[in-house]
Amino acid sequence: MTLKDYDTVWLDREIREVKYIDQSKLPGELVIKSVQNLDDIRNAIVDLEVRGAPAIGVFAALSMYVLSVRIGGDSMADFVKEYVRCSDYLQSARPTAVNLSWALSIMRAELERFTLHRFEAYLLDPNLSDIELDDELRGYIGNVLLKKAIEIYENDIDVCRSLGKNGVSIINAGDRILTYCNAGRLAAVRYGTATAPIYLADESGLNISVYCAETRPLLQGARLTAYELSESGIKTTLICDNMVASLMSQGMIDKVIVGCDRVAANGDVANKIGTNGLAVIAKHYNIPFYVCAPMSSIDLSVKTGAEIVIEQRKDIEVTDMWYKTRMAPQGINVYNPAFDVTNHELITAIITENGVVRQGDGFLVAATK
């Protein structure tokens, strides 16, 4: 079995567990894991075994179903209280990608829709404590949450396919494309965001080639993008992050296509740390810079990128990981933000499943119509 034989995350309906490719083991080993309890689920996100904005969202939705069927208690109120606790705990796993809270809030709203319809009660209504949670009621709730979680999972596949179709319109024959981090199939369920147009362009015989920048400190470009693109037979070249300006100055890059973790209402984009630098360099060399964003990554509640919370991660990702011995003096201060914000003025267009929104089109106002 190879990567292509699996989705990145999926539900095993029989045992009611969430399965996923453990991305922390790639590219060395293709390991499939299965989870069903809250700590294991949250740790899978925190430890980047499941990573990439859309994949985290789908994983969270499937997980809430899996957790819900294991919640004990005798009353509807006990069930809801525990459901909300699990959901809030998962939400705290990673702050920057909006897809996590997006998926959790859809699942929560679905549960609330059920309680409103059946008991005319909002989720935390104390009257729910008078309602006994028998097997029949458990069955109904399970079905409601299962249906919604599967909808989110299937929606991701459809969205990435549509995004790919829209994105292929900006690719020309022979293009040499730079991508960054991993916004590929491993970051979503099946096709990826930034890689969806790349896969389609390749299938259409456009003879494209891709440069992956390795993406310090966690090397998602080297470990994941270089792996999945080369496995697909796409002409792929790996470069260090600090080589980008050199390649651009020599006319070796025709366009940049990246993914995103959250898009603000003005079109500013939070993405993997280093993205902003790429965009600045691309602007200098007059190279178009595209961001692929499913609508679920667009957060109109934040006006500009300045409001987006940037996740800070552990020092050892910079000082120790991937090295045989530590590569920095003991006790050195480390600053390790996992994401940065690229100003909308540096972005040529945002590609969504609904269309390509170019700079000057009024950005997301157009995309959200």
> In terms of CB distance, is 128 or 257 closer to ligand MRU?
257
Instruction: Pick the stretch among 48-56, 74-82, 248-256, 342-350 that binds ligand MRU (CB under 6 A).
Output: 48-56
Instruction: Pick the stretch among 47-55, 101-109, 241-249, 353-361 that binds ligand MRU (CB under 6 A).
Output: 47-55
| DSSP class of 305 | G
Catalytic status, residue 315: no
Footprint (CB under 6 A) of ligand MRU, residues 292-351: 338
Q: What is the 3-state secondary structure (H, E, C) of 260-292?
A: CCEECCCCCEEEECCHHHHHHHHHHCCCCEEEE
Instruction: Pick the stretch among 33-41, 149-157, 158-166, 253-261 that binds ligand MRU (CB under 6 A).
Output: 253-261
Question: Is residue 53 a contact point for ligand MRU (CB under 6 A)?
Answer: yes
- CA-based nearest residue to 69, from 37, 102, 43: 37
Question: Is residue 42 a contact point for ligand MRU (CB under 6 A)?
Answer: no
Helix axes 98-119, 53-68, angle to 10 degrees: 30
Q: Least distance in Å: CB of 71 to ligand MRU?
A: 28
Residue 164 exposed, middle or buried by CB count within 10 Å (0-12, 13-18, 19+): buried
Q: Least distance in Å: CB of 26 to ligand MRU?
A: 12
d(C-alpha 354, C-alpha 150), whole Å: 21
Phi-psi region of 132 (alpha: psi -120 to 50; beta: other; left: phi over 0): beta
**Which residue among 148, 190, 262, 272 contacts ligand MRU (CB under 6 A)?**
272
**Encoding tokens for residue 134?**
């028998």
Footprint (CB under 6 A) of ligand MRU, residues 208-227: 220
Question: Is residue 182 a contact point for ligand MRU (CB under 6 A)?
Answer: yes
d(C-alpha 62, C-alpha 84), whole Å: 15
Question: Is residue 200 a contact point for ligand MRU (CB under 6 A)?
Answer: no
The residue annotated as part of the active site, out of 156, 261, 299, 340, is 261
d(C-alpha 261, C-alpha 98), whole Å: 6
Instruction: Pick the stretch among 14-22, 49-57, 111-119, 282-290 that binds ligand MRU (CB under 6 A).
Output: 49-57
- CA-based nearest residue to 292, from 238, 239, 352: 352
Q: Least distance in Å: CB of 296 to ligand MRU?
A: 11
Question: Is residue 265 a contact point for ligand MRU (CB under 6 A)?
Answer: no
Residue 178 exposed, middle or buried by CB count within 10 Å (0-12, 13-18, 19+): buried
Question: Is residue 256 a contact point for ligand MRU (CB under 6 A)?
Answer: no
Rule CB under 6 A: which residues touch ligand MRU?
48, 51-54, 181-183, 187, 193, 220, 258-261, 271-272, 338
Residue positions annotated with a catalytic role: 261
